[in-house]
Amino acid sequence: MTDAKRLTLAHGSGGEPMQQLLHQHIQPLFDNAILARQEDQARLNMTLAPGERLAFTTDSFVVTPLCFPGGNIGTLAANGTLNDLVVGGARPHYLSCALIIEEGLPLETLQALLADLAREVRAAGALVVTGDTKVVPRGAADGLFINTSGIGVIPAAVDLGTHRLKAGCRLLVSGPVGDHGAAILACRRELALGGDLISDCASLWPLVKGMLEEPGLLAMRDATRGGVNAVLHEFAAAAGLSVELEEAAIPVRPAVRGLCELLGLDPLQLACEGRLLAAVEADAAERMLERMHAHPLGSGAQLIGRLVPQRNSAVIVRGLYGVERSLPAVSGELLPRIC
Amino acid sequence: MTDAKRLTLAHGSGGEPMQQLLHQHIQPLFDNAILARQEDQARLNMTLAPGERLAFTTDSFVVTPLCFPGGNIGTLAANGTLNDLVVGGARPHYLSCALIIEEGLPLETLQALLADLAREVRAAGALVVTGDTKVVPRGAADGLFINTSGIGVIPAAVDLGTHRLKAGCRLLVSGPVGDHGAAILACRRELALGGDLISDCASLWPLVKGMLEEPGLLAMRDATRGGVNAVLHEFAAAAGLSVELEEAAIPVRPAVRGLCELLGLDPLQLACEGRLLAAVEADAAERMLERMHAHPLGSGAQLIGRLVPQRNSAVIVRGLYGVERSLPAVSGELLPRIC
Residue B333 pLDDT level (bands cut at 50, 70, 90): confident
| Pick from A205-214, B191-200, B255-264, B292-301: least confident | B191-200
Distance, CA of B305 to CA of B247 (rounded, Å): 9
Mean residue pLDDT of chain A comes to 94
Q: With contacts defined as CB-CB under 8 Å, which chain A residues touch B10?
A: 331-333
Mean pLDDT over B169-175 rounds to 98
Does the beta-carbon distance from A132 to B85 stay under 8 Å? no
The answer, yes or no, to whether residue B159 has pLDDT greater than 70, is yes
Among B99, B134, B154, where does a domain finish? Answer: B154
> B16 in a domain, yes or no?
yes
Q: With contacts defined as CB-CB under 8 Å, which chain A residues touch B58?
A: 96-98, 130-132, 147, 149
The answer, yes or no, to whether residue B334 has pLDDT greater than 80, is no
Partner residue opposite B98 with nearest CB, options A40, A58, A97? A58
Q: With contacts defined as CB-CB under 8 Å, which chain A residues touch B17?
A: 331
Residue B162 pLDDT level (bands cut at 50, 70, 90): very high
Q: With contacts defined as CB-CB under 8 Å, which chain A residues touch B139?
A: 139, 142
Among B121, B154, B187, where does a domain finish? Answer: B154
HSE at residue A87, side-chain half, CA atoms within 13 A, is 28
Angle B201-B296-B289 (CA atoms, 0-180°, nearest 5)? 105
**How many Å is the Cα radius of gyration of chain A?**
21
Residue B193 pLDDT level (bands cut at 50, 70, 90): low
Residue A331 pLDDT level (bands cut at 50, 70, 90): confident
Does the beta-carbon distance from A145 to B149 stay under 8 Å? no
The answer, yes or no, to whether residue B213 has pLDDT greater than 90, is yes
Q: With contacts defined as CB-CB under 8 Å, which chain A residues touch B99?
A: 60
How close A156 gets to chain B, by Cα (Å)? 11
Distance, CA of A142 to CA of A189 (rounded, Å): 18
Cα A238 to Cα A88, A328, B36, B184, B218: the distances in Å are 16, 16, 11, 44, 49
How close B296 gets to chain A, by Cα (Å)? 24
Closest-CA residue of A relative to B92 is A41
Partner residue opposite A54 with nearest CB, options B44, B97, B222? B44
Does the beta-carbon distance from B331 to A10 stay under 8 Å? yes
pLDDT of residue B3: 47
Domain encompassing residue B122: 9-154
Residue count (chain B)? 339
State whether B186 and B310 are in the same domain. Answer: yes
Does the beta-carbon distance from B38 to A222 stay under 8 Å? no
- Pick the residue of B1, B13, B84 with the most A CBs within 10 A to test the interface with A by mutation: B13
Cα A93 to Cα A76, A90, A131, A270, A332: the distances in Å are 17, 9, 15, 29, 36
How close A158 gets to chain B, by Cα (Å)? 12
State whether A226 and A199 are in the same domain. Answer: yes
> B319 in a domain, yes or no?
yes
Does the beta-carbon distance from B94 to A56 stay under 8 Å? yes
The answer, yes or no, to whether residue A219 has pLDDT greater than 50, is yes
Residue B335 pLDDT level (bands cut at 50, 70, 90): confident
pLDDT digits (tens, 9 = 90+) for B6-40: 999 999 887 888 889 999 999 999 999 999 988 89
> A199 in a domain, yes or no?
yes
Percent of chain A with pLDDT over 90: 87
Burial of B112 (0-12, 13-18, 19+ CB in 10 A): middle
> A232 in a domain, yes or no?
yes
Does the beta-carbon distance from B97 to A43 stay under 8 Å? no
Q: Which ranges of chain A does DSSP label H, i.e. alpha helix? A: 16-20, 27-30, 33-36, 73-86, 107-123, 179-189, 205-211, 227-239, 254-263, 285-293
Question: CB count, 10 Å around CB of A305?
Answer: 24
State whether B93 and B195 are in the same domain. Answer: no
The answer, yes or no, to whether residue A3 has pLDDT greater than 60, is no
Number of domains into which chain A is organized: 2
The CATH number of whichever domain residue B236 belongs to comes to: 3.90.650.10
State whether B180 and B308 are in the same domain. Answer: yes
pLDDT of residue B236: 97
pLDDT of residue A1: 46
Q: With contacts defined as CB-CB under 8 Å, which chain A residues touch B314?
A: none
> B1 in a domain, yes or no?
no
> B332 in a domain, yes or no?
no
Strands (E), chain A: 42-44, 53-61, 67-68, 71-72, 91-102, 127-136, 144-154, 170-173, 217-222, 241-246, 276-280, 302-309, 315-318, 324-326
The answer, yes or no, to whether residue B268 has pLDDT greater than 60, is yes
pLDDT digits (tens, 9 = 90+) for A42-83: 999 999 999 999 999 999 999 999 999 999 999 999 999 999
Partner residue opposite A39 with nearest CB, options B9, B142, B161? B161
Nearest to A173 by CA among A259, A252, A93: A252
Q: With contacts defined as CB-CB under 8 Å, which chain B residues touch A331?
A: 2, 10, 15-17
Mean pLDDT over B178-183 rounds to 96
Partner residue opposite A333 with nearest CB, options B9, B163, B224? B9
Chain A, chain B: beta-carbon pairs less than 8 Å apart: 272
Backbone phi, then psi, for B145, in 5-degree steps?
-115, 140
Does the beta-carbon distance from A98 to B14 stay under 8 Å? no
How close B266 gets to chain A, by Cα (Å)? 14
Cβ atoms of B224 and B271 within 8 Å: the answer is: yes
| Pick from A46-55, B115-124, B149-158, B191-200: least confident | B191-200
pLDDT of residue A200: 97
Among A104, A133, A154, where does a domain finish? Answer: A154
Partner residue opposite B10 with nearest CB, options A88, A221, A333? A333
Question: CB count, 10 Å around CB of B48?
Answer: 17
Partner residue opposite B98 with nearest CB, options A60, A90, A94? A60
pLDDT digits (tens, 9 = 90+) for B60-113: 999 999 999 999 999 999 999 999 999 999 999 999 999 999 999 999 999 999
State whether A146 and A83 are in the same domain. Answer: yes
> B2 in a domain, yes or no?
no
State whether A166 and A147 are in the same domain. Answer: no
The answer, yes or no, to whether residue A90 has pLDDT greater than 50, is yes
State whether B221 and B181 are in the same domain. Answer: yes
Does the beta-carbon distance from B333 to A9 stay under 8 Å? yes
How close A315 gets to chain B, by Cα (Å)? 14
Residue B192 pLDDT level (bands cut at 50, 70, 90): low
- Pick the residue of B22, B34, B41, B101 with the most A CBs within 10 A to test the interface with A by mutation: B41
Distance, CA of A317 to CA of A323 (rounded, Å): 8
pLDDT of residue A192: 66
The CATH number of whichever domain residue A74 belongs to comes to: 3.30.1330.10
Residue B161: left (phi > 0), alpha (psi -120 to 50), or beta? left
Q: With contacts defined as CB-CB under 8 Å, which chain A residues touch B135?
A: 336
B138-172 b/e (C-beta count within 10 Å ≥ 16 → b) = eebbbbbbbbbbbbbbbeeebbbbbeebeeebbbb
Q: With contacts defined as CB-CB under 8 Å, which chain A residues touch B233?
A: 15-16
Does the beta-carbon distance from B129 to A56 stay under 8 Å? yes
> A40 in a domain, yes or no?
yes
How close B190 gets to chain A, by Cα (Å)? 20
Closest-CA residue of A relative to B221 is A40
Mean pLDDT over B142-162 rounds to 97
Q: Which ranges of A92-178 does DSSP label H, i.e. alpha helix? A: 107-123
State whether B179 and B303 are in the same domain. Answer: yes
State whether B168 and B306 are in the same domain. Answer: yes
State whether A65 and A93 are in the same domain. Answer: yes
Question: CB count, 10 Å around CB of B318?
Answer: 16
Tell me what ipTM this predicted complex has.
0.96
Residue A334 pLDDT level (bands cut at 50, 70, 90): confident
State whether B218 and B291 are in the same domain. Answer: yes
Distance, CA of B270 to CA of B181 (rounded, Å): 5
Percent of chain B with pLDDT over 90: 88
Does the beta-carbon distance from A88 to B8 stay under 8 Å? no
pLDDT of residue A2: 47
Q: With contacts defined as CB-CB under 8 Å, which chain A residues touch B43?
A: 53-55, 88, 154
pLDDT greater at residue B262 or residue A92: A92
Q: With contacts defined as CB-CB under 8 Å, which chain B residues touch A87?
A: 40-41
HSE at residue A75, side-chain half, CA atoms within 13 A, is 18
State whether B127 and B32 are in the same domain. Answer: yes
